[in-house]
Amino acid sequence: MMNQVTENSNLYSKIAGLLQAARQNVMRAVNQTMVYTYFEIGRMIVEDEQQGKERAEYGKQVLKELSKRLTVEFGKGFSQDNLERMKRFYLTYSDSISANMLRKLENDPITQKSSAQLSQTENEENSKPQANSNQIPIIKNNANEISETLSRKFILSWSHYLKLMRIENPDERRFYEIECAANNWSLKELQRQLDSALYERLALSRDKEGVKQLAEKGQIIEKPTDFLKDPYVLEFLNLPEQHQYSESDLETAIIDKLEHFLLELGKGFTFVARQFRMTIDEKHFKADLVFFNRLLKCFVVIDLKIGELTHQDIGQMQMYVNYHDRIVKLPDENKTIGIVLCKDKSQTLVEFTLPENNDQIFASRYQTILPDKQAFINLLNESEA
């Protein structure tokens, strides 16, 4: 009887897992269809407005009437403001849609009629004098041209794209789009990374080619400096900037919000230990936090300092790193990375304390409030000048 219960339970678990996966796949398919539909609606609105003589007034009146009719036929979701968002979505992403997906849309009965109308419009436009150079280009129904100009799929939710459209810098917007997809960020996580100026913090440590790579590929982790940030933003700890707390308080707050801290650390981090004990000649030392990065295949030791960094702090971290390299790490793992996370630091002191070819020990500041994003943007602009 017990075996039968166990078998039934296993069968139920398998079926339940299958149904959950199927439900998620359906939701993803529905979401993607909705996003592409909104893109198509935006395209049709833009193309219709391009044929109007007084675009601003014409477009405003068309959207007002369109909103009324769509709402009566299809219900909520087609207010004038939402139609404006769909239009802006098309204008923002008209160079981003996947050629394959667009061809699927063209073969869809729902869009075939609009495609035929577009072809007719193109023939009419070709017989007219060229419009002025400020006119928004219309995407043509030609597979070859689409393949040359369009390259990506829409794989995020409509809510994500509404948030991303507010980012004026196209490189920054593309970076967050890639990271959202790669890390499965929720809308809340995306907002947090925007608020903490993740793009600017990463870009400041890179040359122009590195910044370009962020926009094209997102954050690629190939060496320690690829995941380092300065500063690390720990606003989720709820420790006010001027609040008096000890290093132990800071460590405890991080452990209590470990999931948030891992998100701030970046890709590939797993937690190993708190107060990792090392014994050398019968003397005991403890590293505050130890992680392992799966992408770099190495231990990452973090020591917390609530005050200004000293050369003794760096020397202590060097010992922690050496211990892990010689005692803890396996032969097929890479060299240990050490990060001293401090409230303040002198970059000159760091440079003179560490060897010139240092690639293991790093010092980064942390702050417990969200940064002034504009200040980071200004610094980034100055570095690019």
Q: What is the mean pLDDT of residues 203-210?
A: 84
**Full-prediction pTM beyond 0.95?**
no
Position 105 pLDDT exceeds 80? no
- What is the Cβ-side half-sphere exposure of residue 304, based on CA atoms within 13 angstroms? 21
Q: Which residues, including other chains, have CB under 8 Å from residue 229's CB and lie 6 or more apart? A: 198, 201, 202, 205, 264, 266, 364
CA dihedral 90, 96, 100, 105 (to 10 degrees): 0
Position 188 pLDDT exceeds 90? yes
Q: What is the mean pLDDT of residues 88-116?
A: 56
Q: What is the mean pLDDT of residues 7-33?
A: 83
220: tokens are 């690629």
pLDDT value, residue 3: 60
% of the chain residues with pLDDT over 70: 79
Q: Of 141-145, 250-254, 340-344, 369-373, which gets the smallest average pLDDT?
A: 141-145
- Give the angle subtended at the CA of 344 by the CAs of 338 and 349, to the nearest 5°: 70
**What average pLDDT does the chain have?**
82
pLDDT in tens, 303-331: 999 989 999 999 999 999 999 999 999 99
Q: What is the mean pLDDT of residues 65-76?
A: 92
283-293 sheet: strands from edge to edge: 232-233, 361-367, 337-344, 298-308, 283-293, 269-280
Q: Which residues, including other chains, have CB under 8 Å from residue 130's CB and lie 6 or more apart? A: none
Confidence of residue 187 (pLDDT cuts 50, 70, 90): very high
Q: Which of 10, 40, 32 is nearest to 111 (CA)?
A: 40
Position 371 pLDDT exceeds 50? yes
pLDDT in tens, 324-365: 999 999 999 999 999 999 999 998 999 999 988 899 999 999
Domains of the chain in start order, with CATH, are 2-124+143-155 (no CATH), 184-384 (3.40.1350.10)
Confidence of residue 52 (pLDDT cuts 50, 70, 90): low
Long-range CB contacts (within 8 A, 24+) of 170-173? 170/215, 171/211, 171/212, 171/214, 171/215, 172/199, 172/200, 172/215, 173/92
- What is the Cβ-side half-sphere exposure of residue 180, based on CA atoms within 13 angstroms? 25
